[in-house]
Structure 1
Amino acid sequence: MAAGAAPAGANRLRLGLAARLALRELRGGLSGFYIFLACVALGTAAIAGVNSVSEMMTGSIASEGKTILGGDIRFEIDNRDIGAAGRSYVEGLGAVSAGANLRTMARKPDGSDQSLVELRAVDEAYPLYGAFETTPPLSVADAFAERDGVFGATAAQILLDRLGIAVGDTLLVGQAQFQIRGVIATEPDALSEGFGFAPRLMISRAALDAAGLIRPGSLIEYSYRVRLDGAAAARSLDDIRDEAETRFPDAGWQIRTSRNAAPALTRNIERFSQFLTLVGLTALIVGGVGIANSVRAWLEGKRGVIATFKCLGAPASLVVAIYLIQVMLIAGFGVALGLVLGALTPWLAAGALAGVIPIAVTVSFYPASLLIAAGFGLMTAFAFAVLPLGRAGEVPATALFRQQGFEAGGFARWPYLLTAGLTLAVLCGAAIFFADDRRIASIFVAAVAAAFVVLRLVGWLVQLIARRWPAVNSTPLRLAIGNIHRPGALTPSVVLSLGLGLALLVTLALIDTNLRRELSGNLPERAPNFFFVDIQASEIDGFDELVTGLAPEGKVIKVPMLRGRITALNGEPVNAENVPPQARWVLRGDRGLTYAKNLPENSRLAEGKWWAPDYTGEPLVSFSAQEAREIGLSVGDTVTVSVLGRQITARIANLRDVEWESLSINFVMVFSPNTFAGAPHSWMATLTDPGADAALEAGILRSVTQAYPTITSLRVKDALELADQLVGQIGVAIRAAALVALIASVLVLAGALAAGNRSRIHDAVVLKTLGATRATLIRAYVYEYGLLGLATATFALGFGAVASWFVVSRIMTLPSRFMPDIALATLAGALVLTVGIGLAGTWRVLGQKAAPVLREL
């Protein structure tokens, strides 16, 4: 063995020695680590709880897939029936329940009131899975049967309340009369029907035919739910779907299986869960600063022990190992506490969600979610504990015996810096890897990292300004400025602790306020008063004359309307998963299509040329510029759409910039008029009259519904009010999540004060010995914490303003405005937190007696 070489197993022995010493020292309890535990537990609980609830919901949706979908497999097609061949194929798979969905108007027989409804027609086989329940209890046959020329119907309670009717009363829908025979209590497959803008009204398929609502161009979704039996029941759902698409390549239907019963809801749950997870991770990283402060404060109390170890020959690596083992054991306890809270969250959330999502929620433990949260918690604790431990290991024993702290130690050596950096990189990589939308997760992580860097710079800048500030006459103010820039000052910790939490809170508050302002103020002013759909070609002139006469100051815009689905791009079948998430909606399902001789209003050419009014060449299409770029299309490419069972390929002639936020009639695709020559279609129209009051709008709605009962009228203000309610509900959840990060910030601030208590006691005793009064010291601390709070709030306002502007104007493409009231509330909140918690933390310092402290100097 070479001279000086360590014997084999020496490292193992050293690690065992470190473990024994660590466990022995932990017998003294967790004093000084309560904030550490709270920071770790809070962030871990947030991540574990959010992911567990998300897994609970998506798992429940998957387990109830057949009931939610209404069958094992479901075929959907817009605006037309699937035809004899398609029907024969579907019926060969098993029992079939056919239905149809559309929006239309329901009105009272005397014409005094009307309402938009989500009309659903079902057949006698409905439901194939689950139970359809009404109040009073009725069978499907009794609920919808025709009696004395009047069909039966069931409705949501909100429709009865809106029209002021009750069970037993009658309604007119289209050209037929219906008797309300029950209130819908349970519609088992409601989730698969998607989000509804209006109350549900259910009738029979025969009644839909009698109502005269099925006309050329009508916006109707036909569905065929299948309960597999016989040979089909033994086959996989994917094989059946692939066979149907192969045998009927031009059918234009969409096929869903029970494993993907409510894709839109599942995606929304996953995205919301991702956002809340990132907020929880932010709280955990903010808590990481508290972990570092707690470790530093704890090590301050271990100076004598560390000095003794070093005098006995313990190398720095052994000292670091001893305390790293202790820190990770305590972190493990904090993570375990957070996991317990996170594991209990689904049980607490199940009751609240039962009234929101009508499915049977199965609550359980979710090991994968808990494991992810545990990994995040332990990595965060390790990354933020390594640096103060590394610095402590490098302080010489003589400095520790002289009661010097760790402030003068500078940065830890490069191995510790590298270890901490790599751990944080793995932490960020894991956050992005486990995210549903990795692009959004990457932006979020990058923003948090940038905020950390900027906050460090803000702290350094505040100290620099304080260091160079000219002398002031006020003793308390002079002491406060000195405390801000002196070695070991609390400035970096306070700015970091509050800055990120306040910045996140300001960002979310500004986004929420801008959305509410847009929905309740600007949008209603710019948007049309009404949308009218399902206007037949034979009705369009009479409709125009009627509406113009009712609102002579208004502006009526009419456009032809078809429905189609993009099936190929440049001759290749479309795959929505190959395009960015923000553009996938264009390729999913049917889209509204139109044709026009001239460039539509609220649009301008971004690239290419518009066709001549009398153009007769190959089919051309104008594509929305933003969506085209996201999908990867440009002028000259081809787009194939399925319309009324026909595949039509058109070449992109130009790209348009579309003002979607105006809520005017806009389409992703506008075709040249010759593309759909002779194709049956309906019309869509808008009425814009800024001067119309509620009475005039009610009169227009009543007159149009009475004159044209099959035209669907949508009052835009009603839709915006519904959207505002949804934004409000989501906003409450988002602000609650942001408060978790703010609570973590408060804990970190308390930890920072605890870490600086030793030097505070020293300063207070010396100043009191020199004649300073308690009032002078209190004023000094108020000034110090007030200045730090002001600096932190200024950063939070700036960062929040920029971040909210980016989200609102660039992602949501809505006008963004800075809100002074949010600014003032943030400023006041930051000052209250810093001054209040700062004084609470230093109150004990002011009461210290001088003699015991002076004897240690």
Structure 2
Amino acid sequence: MNEQRQTPGLGLAARFALREMRGGLKGFFVFIACIALGVMAISGVASVSRALTEGIASEGQSILGGDLAFSLIHRQASEDERAFLESLGDVSTAATLRAMARKPEADSQTLIELKAVDGAYPLYGSAVLQSGQPLHDALGLSATNGAWDGVADLALLARLDLDVGDEISVGRIKVRIAGLLENEPDRLGSGMTIGPRLMVTPQALEAAGLIQPGSLVTWRYRIKASQLQTDAALNATIEEAKDTFPNAGWRIQSRANASPNLQRNIERFAQFLTLVGLTALVVGGVGVANAVRSFLDTKREVIASFKCLGASGGFVFRVYLMQIMTLAAIGIAIGLALGAVVPLIALTLLEPLLPIGASVGIYPAELMLGAVYGSLTALAFAIWPLGRAHDVAPTVLFRDSVSARNRYPRKRYIVATLTTLLVLSALALLLAYDKRIAGFYLVAAIGAYLLLTLVARFIMWAARRMPHVRSTEWRLAIGNLHRPGALTPSVILSLGLGLTLLVALALIDGNLRNTLTQTAEEQAPSFFFVDIQNHEKDGFLSFVQQSAPDGRLETVPMLRGRITALNDIPTDELPPPPDDGWVLRGDRGITYSNTIPENTEVVDGDWWSSDYTGTPLVSFAAEIAQNLGLSVGDTVTVNVLGREITATIANLRTVDWESMSINFVMVFSANTFAGAPHTHLATITWDETPPVEKELDLLKQVTTQYPTVTSVRVKDAIAQVNELVGQLSWAVRGASSITLIASVLVLGGALAAGHRNRIYDAVILKTLGATRFRLIYAYLAEYLLLGLATALFSLLAGSLAARFVLVDVMDGQFTMLPGTALAAVIGALFFTIGFGLLGTWRVLGEKPAPTLRNL
């Protein structure tokens, strides 16, 4: 014979795999659903992020208000600076600051975001009024009947119970609400706002008397530079501005980076949701492994036949790997189809809340990312159970369906599994926006998975060694925990990961809310008073002390400055620090003092003397200095009022940020800003929480007597933060529920995988005299034990994770919340008992005869 025996190749394995799949997808619906859910989450989130990012890019000019924007704090541009800006193109000037709006006849007032715009505003986009009237027709150029015209947000009308045409007092003028502002094109590029918007003319702002030396006002100069068509031309102009006016201290943005804060937040949230999707895939991987094991169990006669006819273990592995990956491809295709639709649905629902228009479309790169994650997950969790079939002898397969269940596969399959998991982890790490957080997540996910495996094995070990109990039902329940093919590993792994994530998020959210509320009640001052001028400081303090004699007043000088260099290295040339990078972005509040501030402690270095007159010194917040790599003796350069000031760090001090009292990252020696125009910041605190009426009465008196001073009620600000945290937490928990859905799918798959053995048990026990009630009781006890074990682990692991985030990452405090603990226990019991009994009821309804005939 010239014919040589050849090892079956991939083609033959593929033909066998496709022929065997003619029977349909029975038993693999959970497998496909788990893969589809994870792929949908990852590709959908990535697509939504891409749509928002492209929306920002496409609307960059409108968001920024120009092709370029130059921002200054405290001061307007000088003549030379203004001439340079006008040489670039058309210029529009806007001034923004916080002020108090009062409705005198109703004795009510509120904090507002006041904005004065010139006739060129807006350079891009449209300012839309509800009436359809042009903006500048509504504003006018002068006062009419003693009142200036302005346009306002609907929120301002709601807070002060106003209608269009009503008048309010702002500073020293009256403003008539001439229109309702529906769209402010550059609102997003104007930075964070606290109060509702009121828009007036520059003439009205000047008449209000709110602009004084040192006032916290931001001047923004938007440039319409039609000749700067490319990003390279914009960047060259920015560098020219920096070189021409190195000490201007202005913040420069271009249309290519119109809203960096929003962009960072989108990327961070997208990273979190991607990690949630990856968690769902990992949880679904448990379902993949369960489905593969169950599938191989039904194919043991076929595998035995293959081997009896000469097929190698490698051939068997290839046949069934092809089948599994084909099924995974079906799940991935479904996930990609759903992921492509997610942006359309999500952005349609979020359209009323989004400050920008999103560019909805199909994004192949983002969809491909989901496909890669899905493929790697399916492969990683399928190789191990498939590898076990390689060395199982045909006689064992015919004789015993469970004897090979706990054997390890060959080393090649172990290495292949670990390699695939490493590739999956590396991909998640490399594509992460914040690699440090992604690294924490990967370590936590791996640790949780290993720990859950150990917990499941411990429960099985403990159940196997439990003392004899008299109740037959409880003996059966305990035996089911450790029997071959027990549900214990699947339930603990699947529900454990999902519930742990939700417990951690709920505890973080609850602790943040409690901290804000408790601090507001126990430590935080009642009011911050901003923009107190030097000439009115003494009178203001005396007035407040007389109006609230039992209150405790604190006042400090207040300026705004931006850190431009650390140790003579410009901040834009420094690598972004992993923590506290916000200190180097934008302007910071700064102060000066010759005495150590209250509630602080110098931990390194010494404070300067009260009569110090040497070179400028600065005290820096210790923790932030450490994260920035600063120490005593280093230098910090800040730009204040267009002046570059370099100070040496004399000491590092602790800062109690949680107290919400007056705190600064930097406190300079008093001689640093000698003669510089500035305002003062004051707080008032009561030893016991005052009634709301008492606070509002003081607010009314201060606003009436000192109309140019801005009063911020801390409880109002905290209420807004609490509302924002609440909305965000619901969004986060809603997104995280994807993981719980995957857990439920895996639980359902585990029950389906054990369906065959459960039928066998139920038929035998019923034949021996067991009633349906006693069997339900036994299964109920089993699911109760599994649910309690899962709940206890989720509670412990979720609490530890929340504590790590709150204490070690956020430097906060952690308190155990019993309500969250109870919710975790109820959730675990609901899913395990509910789904368990649902599957058991089907089992108990099976007829005994067909099963007994095959014994």
Same fold (TM over 0.5): yes
Closer, same or farther: CA 236–270 of 1 in aligned 2, 3 Å: same
Query: What residue is the counterpart of 2:735 in the other structure?
Result: 737
Give yes or no for the alignment of 1:424 onto 2:425: no
What is the CA deviation profile of residues 554-599 of structure 1, one whole-angstrom value per residue up to 9, with x for unaligned ones?
1111000011111111111113861334311100011000011222
* AA aligned opposite 2:713: R
Partner of 1:831: 829
Sort the Cα spacing of 1:616 and 1:577 in 2 relative to 1 into closer, same or farther, 3 A: closer
Structure 2 equivalent of residue 402 of structure 1: 399
Question: C-alpha displacement at 1:443, in angstroms?
Answer: 0.7
AA matched with 2:829: L
Map of 1:710 onto structure 2: 708
Q: For residues 368-403 of structure 1, give each alpha carbon's deviation from its aligned partner in whole angstroms, at most 9, with x where no partner exists.
A: 211111110111011001111111232221122125
1:311-330 to 2 correspondence within 5 Å? Answer: 311-330=308-327
Pick aligned residue for 1:516 from 499, 513, 517: 513
Q: Residues of 1 paired with 2:520 and 2:393: CA distance?
A: 67
> SS of the residue aligned with 1:616?
coil
Structure 2: 5+ residue runs without aligned partners? none
- The 5-angstrom pairing of residues 185-264 of structure 1 reads 185-230=182-227, 236-264=233-261
Q: Residue type matched to 1:532 in 2?
A: F
Matched to 1:94, the amino acid is G
Deviation at 1:95, TM superposition (A): 0.5
Q: Tell me the secondary structure at the aligned position of residue 495 of structure 2.
A: helix
Counterparts of residues 242-391 of structure 1 (less than 5 Å): 242-391=239-388
After TM superposition, list the pairs within 5 Å mapping 1:13-24 onto structure 2: 14-24=9-19
Match of 1:31? 26
Measured after TM superposition, the shift of residue 492 of structure 1 is 1.1
1:685 Cα offset (Å): 0.5
SS in structure 1 at match of 2:9: helix
* Mapped partners of 1:516, 1:51: distance in 2: 30
Deviation at 1:135, TM superposition (A): 2.1
Q: Which residue of 2 aligns with 1:443?
A: 440
* CA distance in structure 2 between the partners assigned to 1:649 and 1:361 by the alignment: 43
Measure, in 2, the Cα distance between the counterparts of 1:360 and 1:221: 27
* 1:152 corresponds to 2:146: no
Q: Given the superposition, is the C-alpha separation of residues 599 and 472 from structure 1 closer, same or farther in structure 2, using an over 3 Å criterion?
A: same
Checking the alignment, whether the CA contact within 8 Å between 1:99 and 1:120 is kept in structure 2 is yes
Q: Measure how far apart 1:83 and its partner are.
A: 0.7
> Which residue does the alignment assign to 2:132?
137
62, 66, 77: which one pairs with 2:61? 66
For the 8 Å contact 1:392–1:406, the answer to whether it is kept is no
1:231 positional shift: 7.3
Deviation at residue 751 of structure 1 after TM alignment: 1.4
Measured in 2, the distance between the counterparts of 1:842 and 1:403 equals 25
CA positional deviation for 1:432: 1.4
Distance verdict in 2 for CA 1:494–1:406, change over 3 Å: farther
Q: Deviations over 1:124-146 (max 9, x none)?
A: 00010111111222223222211
- In the alignment, which residue of structure 1 is the partner of 2:569? 572
Distance 1:822 1:752 in 2: 27
Structure 1 residues 576 and 441, CA, compared in 2 at 3 Å: closer, same or farther?
Answer: farther
Give CA-to-partner distance per residue, 1:234-274, whole Å, 9 cap, x none: 97111111111111111101110001111111111111111
SS of match in other structure, 1:691 = coil
CA gap 1:762/1:130 in 2 versus in 1, 3 angstroms: same
What is the alpha-carbon distance in structure 2 between the residues aligned to residue 227 and residue 283 of structure 1? 47
Match of 2:765 in 1: 767
CA–CA distance in 2 between the matches of 1:323 and 1:296? 11
State the partner residue of 2:629: 632
**How much does 1:232 deviate?**
8.1
* Cα distance in 2 for residues equivalent to 1:111 and 1:614: 50
Structure 2 CA distance for partners of 1:402 and 1:230, relative to 1, 3 Å: closer
For the pair 1:798 / 2:796, whether they are aligned, the reply is yes
- Which of 588, 591, 594 is equivalent to 1:591? 588
- Structure 1 distance, partners of 2:604, 2:143, is 60
The answer to whether the 8 A contact 1:593-1:669 is kept is yes
Contact 1:705–1:711 at 8 Å: present in 2 too? yes
Q: Confirm or deny: 8 A CA contact 1:347 1:363 kept in the other structure.
A: yes
CA distance in 2: counterparts of 1:481 and 1:117, whole angstroms: 65
Q: Tell me, what secondary structure is at the counterpart of 2:812? A: coil
Partner of 1:503 in structure 2?
Answer: 500
2:814 aligns with one of 810, 813, 816? 816
Query: How far apart are the structure 2 equivalents of 1:602 and 1:751?
Result: 58
Supply the distance in 2 between the matched residues of 1:757 and 1:398 (Cα, whole angstroms).
25
1:841 alignment partner, SS class: helix
- Superposed displacement of residue 681, structure 1: 0.9
Following TM superposition, by how much is the alpha carbon of 1:186 offset from its aligned partner in structure 2, in angstroms?
A: 0.9
Measure, in 1, the Cα distance between the counterparts of 2:285 and 2:232: 52
Task: Name the TM-score, length of structure 1 as normaliser.
Answer: 0.97
C-alpha displacement at 1:692, in angstroms? 1.7
Deviations 1:807-837 (A, max 9, x none): 2223233322111111112112211211121
Render the CA deviation track for 1:490-520: whole Å, top value 9, x for unaligned: 2111110110001011111111111222233
Shift of 1:290: 0.5
Task: Check conservation: 2:402, 2:484, Cα contact below 8 A.
Answer: no
C-alpha contact (below 8 Å) 2:129/2:135 kept by paired residues: no
Q: Secondary structure at the match of 1:642?
A: strand
Residue 79 of structure 1 corresponds to 74
The code of the aligned residue for 1:53 comes to: V
Q: Structure 1 counterpart of 2:79, which letter?
A: A
Aligned residue in 2 for 1:684 = 681
Number of residue-to-residue matches in the alignment: 851
Question: Equivalents in 2 of 1:6, 1:455: separation in Å?
Answer: 51
- 1:170 maps to 167
C-alpha separation between the residues in 1 aligned to 2:523 and 2:671? Answer: 32
Q: Distance in 1 between matches of 2:540 and 2:286?
A: 66
Deviates more, 1:614-623 or 1:90-99: 614-623
- Partner of 1:743, secondary structure, is helix
Separation in 1, partners of 2:381, 2:637: 55
| 230 and 264 in structure 1: CA distance in 2 versus 1, 3 angstrom threshold | closer
- Which residue of the other structure, out of 718, 723, 726, is the alignment partner of 1:725? 723
How big is the shift at 1:177?
2.1
Structure 1 SS opposite 2:174: strand
Please give the alpha-carbon distance, in whole angstroms, between the structure 2 residues aligned to 1:510 and 1:335: 34
Instruction: Name the structure 1 match of 2:120.
Output: 125
How well do the aligned residues superpose, as a CA RMSD in angstroms?
A: 1.8
SS at match of 2:675: coil
Instruction: Indicate which of 834, 838, 855 corresponds to 1:840.
Output: 838
The CA distance in 1 between the partners of 2:662 and 2:3, in whole Å, is 81
The one of 84, 96, 106 aligned to 1:101: 96
* Bigger shift: residues 639-648 or 766-775: 766-775
Q: TM-score w.r.t. structure 2 length?
A: 0.97
Instruction: Give the residue type in structure 2 aligned to 1:772.
Output: A
- 1:452 partner letter: Y
**What is the CA–CA distance in structure 2 between the aligned matches of 1:360 and 1:824, rounded to whole Å?**
42
Q: Is the 8 A contact 1:18 1:322 kept in 2?
A: yes
Instruction: Quote the offset at 1:848 in angstroms.
Output: 3.7
Q: Secondary structure at the match of 2:535?
A: coil
1:798 and 1:701 map into 2 onto residues whose CA distance is: 46
Q: Deviations over 1:421-453 (max 9, x none)?
A: 111111111111111111111111211111101
1:410 deviation in Å?
Answer: 1.3
**What's 1:612 paired with?**
609
Q: What amino acid does structure 2 have at the position aligned with 1:673?
A: A
User: How far does residue 109 in structure 1 lie from its aligned partner after superposition?
Assistant: 4.4
Q: CA deviation at 1:77?
A: 1.0
Corresponding residue number in structure 1 for 2:670: 673
Unmatched runs of 5 consecutive residues or more in structure 1: none
| C-alpha distance in structure 2 between counterparts of 1:856 and 1:141, whole Å | 88
The one-letter code of the counterpart of 1:691 is T
Q: Partners in 1 of 2:4 and 2:333 — Cα distance?
A: 38
Q: Is the 8 A contact 2:469 2:475 kept in 1?
A: yes
State the secondary structure of the residue aligned to 1:582: coil
Which stretch of the first structure deviates more once superposed, 397-406 or 529-538?
397-406
Contact 1:793 1:830 in 2 (8 A): yes
Q: Do 1:68 and 1:189's aligned partners in 2 also have CA atoms closer than 8 Å?
A: yes
